[in-house]
Amino acid sequence: MIVEGNKLAEEILEDLKEKRKNFGDLKIAAFLIGEDKEKESFLKVKQKFAEKLNIDFRIYKIPENLTKKKIRKYIHQVIKSKTIQGGIVQLPLPEKFPVQYLLNSIPPKKDIDCLSSGLLGKYYTDTYVIRPPAVEVVDFLKKRFFLNFEGKKVLIVGYGRLIGKPLVHYFANNKSTIIIANPHTNLNEFLKEADIIVSGVGKANLINDCKENAILIDFGYYFEEKNIYGDINFEKLKNKASLITPTPGGTGPILVAKLFENFFKLLESKKVI
């Protein structure tokens, strides 16, 4: 089974169009810190999706030479506007900046990426209104393709804040056995053990083997000239896996759709966030 992310994202979009009818003007502020064509291209994809929902998705470019305090103050001044209902800070940030400090510039009620300390705390204590988009993608695939994670061995490659960390919690709640691979891990020891492999490190064709009929979910992106590669060697493993997500066109479109689903969940939420 090859996951057709674009097709599935369109299905989610149609549901969101129905929700959209319940609201007037909507605006999302996206903050890009420093010059980065790859990160800007990701934001443009989100912007195009927003256009289909008649949502004003505004990209605010912030010079990298500003101090962390000035950046946080600027984000706060923009995001506090009542005309803006959602906000994101595009990751990764330039290394010199404290990441969580700047992510917390987005107030929880407008944090559609679920990256502020407030919303992450709710997610990790299972009292969430929304969950990180990567979690929603995996849960969507689980329900759509009737996957069973209980008792399965899951290899999570990378322990970043967007993919690895939230998915460890998710799979733990699904009663999976979890192996977390870091840069010092010998992957070959675990690739043929895992029933499910999830990767999000951005290293082209890092994963070249798997167990027969494994589930392979790839969140990684690696740009080389005009080509985009995933962490998982799709061509090599597509006939060995029972389910595999290609890159591009796999998890990416669904991830964007789930980001906007989070937006509407926050708009509809009556809970105090």
Q: What is the pLDDT of residues 101-126, one digit of tens each?
A: 999 999 999 999 999 999 999 999 99
- The span from the CA of 212 to the CA of 201, in Å, is 23
Beta strands in 91-247 (DSSP E): 153-157, 177-181, 196-199, 215-218, 222-224, 227-229, 243-244
Mean pLDDT within 118-139: 97
3-state SS string for 11-56? HHHHHHHHHHCCCCCCEEEEEEECCCHHHHHHHHHHHHHHHHCCCE
What digits encode the pLDDT tens for the residues 28-49?
A: 999 999 988 888 999 999 999 9
Please tell me whether residue 157 adopts helix, strand or coil conformation: strand
What digits encode the pLDDT tens for the residues 210-254?
A: 999 999 999 999 988 788 899 999 999 999 999 999 999 999 999
In this prediction, residue 38 carries a pLDDT of 86
In this prediction, residue 225 carries a pLDDT of 78
67, burial (CB in 10 Å: exposed 0-12, middle 13-18, buried 19+): exposed
In this prediction, residue 5 carries a pLDDT of 96
In this prediction, residue 271 carries a pLDDT of 65
